[in-house]
Structure 1
């Protein structure tokens, strides 16, 4: 049974769904176990439990009730809602607890969520590769924590033999995601078209970012968890290319004819051309290929929202 912490969250739900589709049994951990997204169905080989990864005793007790063979750690505390030191302390404590539990349970592999944000300030010529040197400093608390978590995970792997893999996740969009993001425009564009309303603020046509549809992201993480062997400790999970707001708006317009949102010309002043995530490692070691191109993703997201789902 594979434990997915944060398994009822945005990326966690899609990862759990992908693991179930692969025939795996899942223990889906979350702080609000009563929430049951439509991604899960009666008969799924899944158990949902209330779980707080900052509580070591409670976490270890879960392993006494279930035979846990792998862990995907996606749970995160704070994300800007808590004071900075409280947020760092909660997420670091949760990381150590998960690693301690993994060692006690003798799991096959732990997959930890990292972020494209760790590349902030790194030198890249069009693509971010996992072996690019990362700057020590970070402009935001989340990539600062993710960098430190990667270092700790690598040290744990080297010193204990525990198989710990970090996944640097790009901009993810799709069902259960936030309706708006400060980092890219796709969620706002889809929500505006599906709801028949204007954008709350102008988006620039040529602003671009590496995007990965949520269902593909979940499957990529599931493949990394279940692969018989992996060659690296760090993997990018993304689309492998940059996508502009213009491309997204055009795809949304095809999904909802006549409702393509209007965009401002050019790129937001002061922004540099975006780099994409090199996903060669992911492809080589798992055989992953995206199942959702831009048109299929936009159509799927629109249908999800028009079925009455708020996000």
Structure 2
């Protein structure tokens, strides 16, 4: 098979490309490079630069490379920005997906893996989030991911397209320093940035109903997440007509304060956090039940928190050498 990886030059996408090629699959990357980096794409993997809103280019790409499956990761993903620019997010994430699915079905592609998010759940008040936990997103970003799931599922039912929607929890780490996250939007790189500036990391609220008062999250190593995509792709190949919706997490909660303490220890720093007010829409606890992914895909996360922090730090130091001298 040949798999088109949209967003394959991004942080997560580049890991998926490598995991797929390591598994023996042919891959083609499709990315508008608005946040992706062309150098992340291996030299022997074709890169098509374009938007998922460009139906003609998508059609040419699918036909020209004889694509038989798609992993769709291309999307806008900043929660705060989505609140400020909801129309932009719906255009890129929902309309872009609609155009892509139109091209996919016209080309006779049979398998489609969709990058969803735990943001579809909103603020769940449960110990472990299962796939049956009600979806009540609290941001336009989360809404676009849930709408995307609906669109993917409906298309599959109408056309016979095999589909899988993977709901990511908090992604961290890197398979190698050159693939590290270059953004500063997630907790781990945000803490790295403060430590590099010799400033205290920020905690948004310490009065939640959790053991230490800070939010608890489920962190998943990006390499494990990439392997989940490979497993999902193979599952769709093996059983045409499947419709899967799966949480991708570790099933283990780590508080923000605990994560900051561990980052301090593993990077040789000693910077207690500065506590500020809560951010609107932050749930106290979001931890996955990954039992269904294990049952359906035979997949389970292998990497722990230490792996995530140390691998992410190596990538951060590569881009910010001054951090190693901090």
Q: Match for residue 8 of structure 1?
A: 9
Secondary structure of the 2:13 match is helix
Residues 76-87 of structure 1: matches in 2 within 5 Å? 76-77=75-76, 79=78, 80=81, 83-87=85-89
Secondary structure of the 1:165 match is strand
What's the CA shift string for 1:272-306, capped at 9, x where partnerless?
63031111111122222223211122111111222
Q: Match for residue 198 of structure 1?
A: 199
Which segments of 5 or more consecutive residues in structure 1 lack a partner in the other structure? none
Q: Match for residue 242 of structure 1?
A: 253
Q: Match for residue 261 of structure 1?
A: 271
Question: Does residue 101 in structure 1 map to residue 103 in structure 2?
Answer: yes
Which segments of 5 or more consecutive residues in structure 2 lack a partner in the other structure? 174-179, 207-211, 322-326
Which whole-Å CA distance do the structure 2 matches of 1:90 and 1:254 have between them?
Answer: 40
Q: Match for residue 117 of structure 1?
A: 119
Q: Match for residue 153 of structure 2?
A: 154
Secondary structure of the 2:166 match is strand
- Pairwise CA distance, 1:156: 1.4
- Pairwise CA distance, 1:200: 5.4
Secondary structure of the 1:277 match is coil
What's the CA shift string for 1:146-191, capped at 9, x where partnerless?
122212222111121111221111121232252233xxx3332234
Kept in 1, the 8 Å contact 2:89–2:144? The answer is no
Q: Indicate how the Cα distance of structure 1 residues 90 and 35 shifts in structure 2: closer, same or farther if over 3 A, else same.
A: closer
TM-score (norm 1): 0.84
Kept in 2, the 8 Å contact 1:7–1:16? The answer is yes
Kept in 2, the 8 Å contact 1:190–1:301? The answer is no
**How many pairs were matched up?**
300
- Pairwise CA distance, 1:60: 0.1
Kept in 1, the 8 Å contact 2:6–2:73? The answer is yes
Q: Indicate how the Cα distance of structure 1 residues 285 and 149 shifts in structure 2: closer, same or farther if over 3 A, else same.
A: same
Residues 1-311 of structure 1: matches in 2 within 5 Å? 1-32=2-33, 35-37=37-39, 40-42=41-43, 45-77=44-76, 79=78, 80=81, 83-122=85-124, 124-135=125-136, 138-174=137-173, 175-181=180-186, 185-193=187-195, 195=196, 197-199=198-200, 201-202=202-203, 204=206, 206-227=214-235, 228-229=238-239, 232-257=243-268, 259-263=269-273, 273-308=284-319
**Aligned-residue RMSD, C-alpha:** 3.0
Q: Indicate how the Cα distance of structure 1 residues 272 and 133 shifts in structure 2: closer, same or farther if over 3 A, else same.
A: closer
What's the CA shift string for 1:184-210, capped at 9, x where partnerless?
x333223444x3622353465633211
What's the CA shift string for 1:23-75, capped at 9, x where partnerless?
222101111399334x5555xx4111112110111110112210112101111
TM-score (norm 2): 0.81
Kept in 1, the 8 Å contact 2:120–2:142? The answer is yes
Task: Give 1 or 2: higher helix fraction.
Answer: 2
